[in-house]
């Protein structure tokens, strides 16, 4: 698996690394490829990996809902179907896919109430999956720390890095 710090320079110069910025999605069917979302705070990364064909897609959702415009997956409600379409475009199937999510942190104590975007993002992702008859295979949602996630297309392993350490889903 290609990691962020692989000795070849910045991630943007690594052809085996695709980065989903805020409101963006990435996909691949190359088993040597890694999909990345950097700096998730209240944002949620949702990955879909099809183990049969080793194809994957990952979205970096910013908000639970909103009115059009902006990046393709800025909003969970509008971007979820685009994530599934991206998986299909690289030969994957949502029916076979393993879905994993990370992020949704409450970054500011003042936001812990009804305006807690992180919690609302996580709930929106779970609701969209349930509405499509799908479910999370694993997740690392909530808390108060930011995260960076890397999805290895070859084996579906989701590596999560935060200030408290590194773990694998």
Give the CATH number for residue 141: 3.30.1330.200
CA distance 134 to 136: 7
Residue 163: its pLDDT value, please?
87
Structural domain that includes position 106: 11-160
Residue 33: its pLDDT value, please?
95
- The verdict on residue 166 lying in a domain is no
The whole-model pTM stands at 0.88
Residue 92: its pLDDT value, please?
98
Residue 144 near residue 118, CB atoms below 8 Å? no
Q: What pLDDT band is residue 112 in, cutting at 50, 70 and 90? A: low
Query: How many domains does the chain fold into?
Result: 1
CA proximity to 153, closest of 52, 56, 43: 56
Given the residues 17, 20, 37, 43, select the one marked as catalytic. Answer: 43
Cβ-in-10-Å burial (0-12, 13-18, 19+) of 59 comes to buried
- The verdict on residue 74 lying in a domain is yes
- The verdict on residue 127 lying in a domain is yes
Backbone torsions φ then ψ of 61, nearest 5 degrees: -80, 135
Number of other residues whose CB lies within 10 A of the CB of residue 69: 8
- The verdict on residue 4 lying in a domain is no
pLDDT at 153 over 70: yes
- The verdict on residue 61 lying in a domain is yes
- The verdict on residue 23 lying in a domain is yes
Q: Which residue has the higher pLDDT, 7 or 28?
A: 28
Residue 93: its pLDDT value, please?
98
- The verdict on residue 60 lying in a domain is yes
DSSP E strand stretches across 80-142: 98-103, 136-141
Residue 3: its pLDDT value, please?
28
Please indicate whether residue 37 is annotated as part of the active site: no
- The verdict on residue 169 lying in a domain is no
């Amino acid at each position: 698996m290609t990691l962020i710090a692989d000795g070849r320079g910045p991630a943007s110069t690594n052809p085996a690394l695709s980065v989903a910025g805020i409101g963006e999605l990435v996909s691949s069917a190359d088993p040597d490829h890694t999909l990345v979302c950097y700096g998730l705070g209240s944002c949620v990364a949702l990955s879909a990996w099809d183990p049969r064909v080793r194809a994957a897609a990952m979205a970096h959702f910013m908000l639970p809902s909103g009115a059009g415009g902006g990046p393709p997956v800025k909003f969970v409600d509008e971007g979820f179907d685009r994530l599934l379409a991206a998986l299909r475009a690289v030969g994957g199937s949502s029916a076979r896919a393993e879905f994993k999510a990370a992020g949704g942190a409450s970054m500011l104590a003042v936001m812990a109430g009804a305006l807690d975007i992180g919690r609302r993002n996580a709930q929106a992702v779970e609701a969209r999956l349930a509405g499509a008859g799908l479910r999370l295979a694993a997740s690392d949602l909530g808390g108060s720390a930011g995260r960076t996630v890397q999805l290895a297309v070859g084996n579906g392993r989701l590596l999560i890095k935060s200030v408290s350490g590194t773990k694998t889903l």
